[in-house]
Structure 1
């Protein structure tokens, strides 16, 4: 009799969360299998990063890959536990700053954004690159960031291997230009 009660409880919980617009994480999410950088200090991520590549099944990205603009972001650690991300990207000819706050979500290197997006710092050498996994209602994506806009072939190969490991092939991998965009935009001085 305990099993039917458990199932009833879980189905009620699921219904309540769906009614609030929240989703339960998939028990078979590829993000659950991603190993994080256990010895990485968040403070090592502080500073300027450039978006080098993205592997994603996002239909907008596929349809507009010819319009990609160089994208830069600045990372701060305001409280020692969370990440404040300030992304600069061009939209309609103007540079825009998009601010996000990644709060800890369980194990080291795992975060959530506004409770609906999950983020995992999968692998990083804070002096040169970071491979970060994102999951939202649209699915999973893997992004390659660099301290410079150009990275070695070995790092790009590693990124492509990590993307393939979660089911994202080269045909859904897009690389960002190293020119133009908002590379020279300066982050806001206050958070």
Structure 2
């Protein structure tokens, strides 16, 4: 049962941790006709080639009720981003391989972030509802802030090239999530900075790209 709950949490995080069932935002975001992710300021002139490589998940911001109740189950999580051509757009897709330990095993979930019409916008496709992704801010060398929307729920993730980021980066992340009406005290959850794993066998690999025709 513990293993199942842990895997559900992992899948929920990768699906953007944005479910807001039964939980109302504290502040109403103006212009309700506009999808929340459309209000996110994007990284200017985003470069996929510079974004590729290894990232460590430092924090996530979400109103997800399940995450709020089970945040103590969070484990060290890291991703390896590679590039793949997208025939439909002619642009580069991002392949995210996410690694997380769970009860003595390392799990890997691979997902494809398909490029959108706007540079810095992507869409995750798989078995569930598509997830819209916006690269909000990155310097490529130390941190990246991503925003994700599933249905109408919006969440954010802070990645670092190392497991720890400086206070200035943390402050930037918290400021940006406040702009979405999220409270950094109640809705921001930080991940452990130790206990990472980097490989997974075939029995502990979930390849979501096989549902999108990318492999």
- Are residues 110 and 187 of structure 1, via their aligned partners in 2, closer, same or farther at CA, if it must alter by over 3 Å? farther
Residues 13-64 of structure 1 show CA distances to partners (whole Å, capped at 9, x for unaligned) of xxxxxxxxxxxxx842221011211222100111100000000011121011
Indicate how the Cα distance of structure 1 residues 185 and 138 shifts in structure 2: closer, same or farther if over 3 A, else same.
Answer: farther
Show structure 1 runs of 5+ residues with no match. Answer: 1-25
Match of 1:13 in 2: none
Deviation at residue 103 of structure 1 after TM alignment = 0.5
Task: Please identify, of 27-36 and 154-163, the stretch whose mean Cα deviation from structure 2 is larger.
Answer: 27-36
* 1:134 partnered with 2:148: yes
Structure 2 match to 1:178: 193
Q: 1:165 is matched with which residue: 176, 179, 183? A: 179
Which residue of 1 is the match for residue 160 of structure 2?
A: 146
**CA 1:164–1:86 in 2, change beyond 3 Å: closer, same or farther?**
same
> Structure 2: any 5+ residue segments left out of the alignment?
1-31, 86-90, 202-214
1:124 Cα offset (Å) = 0.3
Q: Answer with 124-133 or 27-36: which moved more.
A: 27-36
1:45 aligns to what?
A: 51
Q: Give 2:39's aligned residue.
A: 33
Instruction: Please report the TM-score for the alignment, with normalisation by the length of structure 1.
Output: 0.79
What TM-score results when the alignment is normalised by the length of structure 2?
A: 0.71
Indicate the structure (1 or 2) with the bigger Cα radius of gyration: 1
Q: Does 1:120 align with 2:134?
A: yes
Paired position in structure 1 for 2:92: 81
Deviation at 1:168, TM superposition (A): 1.1
Number of matched residues? 162
Distance 1:187 1:118 in 2: 27
Q: Within 1, Cα distance between the matches of 2:106 and 2:144?
A: 24
Question: What is the aligned counterpart of 1:109 among 114, 117, 120?
Answer: 120
Q: Is the 8 A contact 1:58 1:138 kept in 2?
A: no
- Matched with 1:93 is 104
